[in-house]
C-alpha cells in the first residue's frame, strides 16, 4: 500500500510541476484605459492596453474573473503588444499546450475593426524568436476559447501577445479582447 501511495504522490507532483502558471492570467485589475495590467509589460512603443470592461464603450462581461485586456491597432500602422516572463523557461524541442479566450468589440470608440492575435516566444524581453500562434480575424463578439499546441524551437523565457493586422495599412483601427490564459503545460501526446 505504501508503494502505491508513493507512486500516486510522485505522479501528482509531476503533474503540478509540469506547468507554467503566468502571473495574472486573466488580467485582473481595476478597470482603466491606457493601463498595463499587473504582472505584464509593454512590448511595442505606444502600447497602452485597456483593462476592461467599462471603458471605450466596451461592456462585454469577462469570460473568467472580473476583467480582461483590450489591445488595438491604429490608423498610423502602430499596434499594441504585451508580454511577461515565463516562470520556468520552456525547453528546446519541448511540446507545450495552452488555452485562452478571445473576442472582438464592435463598439471600441472607433477602433472597431477585427484584428488578429499573434503569440510569440522569446529568450529576451519583448523579443520575437518564434511565433506559436496567429489567429484568423477575430470577429465574434462573445468569447471563443482557443487551445494551441506548439514545440519550442529554442529555450524561451518570455511570451508576448500582439494585436495584428496583416497589411498594416493606415486605415485599420481595430481591437482584440483577451482573457482566461491557462497555464502552459507539457503536451499529452500519445
pLDDT at 189: 66
For residue range 64-88, what is the model confidence (pLDDT) as tens digits?
999 999 999 998 888 999 999 999 9
For the chain, counts of helices (H) and of strands (E): 1, 13
**pTM of the entire structure?**
0.87
* DSSP state for residue 62 in the 8-state scheme: P
The three-class DSSP label of residue 140 is coil
Q: Which strands, in side-by-side order, build the sheet including 130-134?
A: 41-42, 81-90, 156-164, 116-122, 130-134
Mean pLDDT lowest among 19-23, 24-28, 70-74, 114-118: 19-23
Number of domains into which the chain is organized: 1
Give me the phi and psi of 7, to 5 degrees please: -60, -45
Share of residues in the chain with pLDDT > 90 (%): 80
CA distance 152 to 117: 19
For residue range 86-134, what is the model confidence (pLDDT) as tens digits?
999 999 999 999 999 999 999 999 999 999 999 999 999 999 999 999 9
The winner for highest mean pLDDT among 13-22, 123-132, 170-179 is: 123-132
Share of residues in the chain with pLDDT > 70 (%): 87
Q: How confident is the model at residue 169 (pLDDT cuts 50, 70, 90)?
A: low
Q: Is the pLDDT of residue 185 over 80?
A: yes
Domain span holding position 175: 2-186
Mean pLDDT of the chain: 88
Q: How far is CA 107 from CA 8, 30, 135, 166, 169, in A?
A: 51, 21, 21, 22, 21
The domain that holds 166 is classified in CATH as 2.60.120.260
Q: How confident is the model at residue 143 (pLDDT cuts 50, 70, 90)?
A: very high
Amino acid at each position: 500500500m505504501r508503494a502505491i501511495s508513493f507512486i500516486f504522490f510522485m505522479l501528482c507532483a509531476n503533474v503540478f510541476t509540469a506547468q507554467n502558471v503566468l502571473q495574472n492570467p486573466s488580467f485582473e485589475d481595476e478597470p482603466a484605459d491606457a493601463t498595463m495590467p499587473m504582472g505584464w509589460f509593454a512590448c511595442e512603443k505606444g502600447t497602452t492596453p485597456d483593462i476592461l470592461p467599462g471603458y471605450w464603450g466596451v461592456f462585454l462581461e469577462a469570460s473568467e474573473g472580473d476583467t480582461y485586456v483590450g489591445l488595438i491597432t491604429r490608423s498610423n500602422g502602430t499596434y499594441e503588444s504585451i508580454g511577461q516572463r515565463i516562470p520556468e523557461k520552456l525547453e528546446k524541442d519541448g511540446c507545450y499546450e495552452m488555452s485562452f479566450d478571445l473576442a472582438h468589440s464592435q463598439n471600441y470608440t472607433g477602433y472597431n475593426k477585427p484584428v488578429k492575435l499573434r503569440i510569440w516566444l522569446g529568450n529576451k524581453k519583448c523579443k520575437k524568436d518564434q511565433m506559436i500562434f496567429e489567429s484568423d480575424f477575430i470577429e465574434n463578439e462573445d468569447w471563443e476559447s482557443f487551445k494551441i499546441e506548439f514545440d519550442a524551437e529554442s529555450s524561451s523565457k518570455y511570451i508576448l501577445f500582439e494585436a495584428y493586422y496583416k497589411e498594416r495599412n493606415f486605415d485599420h483601427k481595430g481591437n482584440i479582447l483577451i482573457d482566461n490564459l491557462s497555464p502552459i503545460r507539457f503536451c499529452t501526446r500519445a
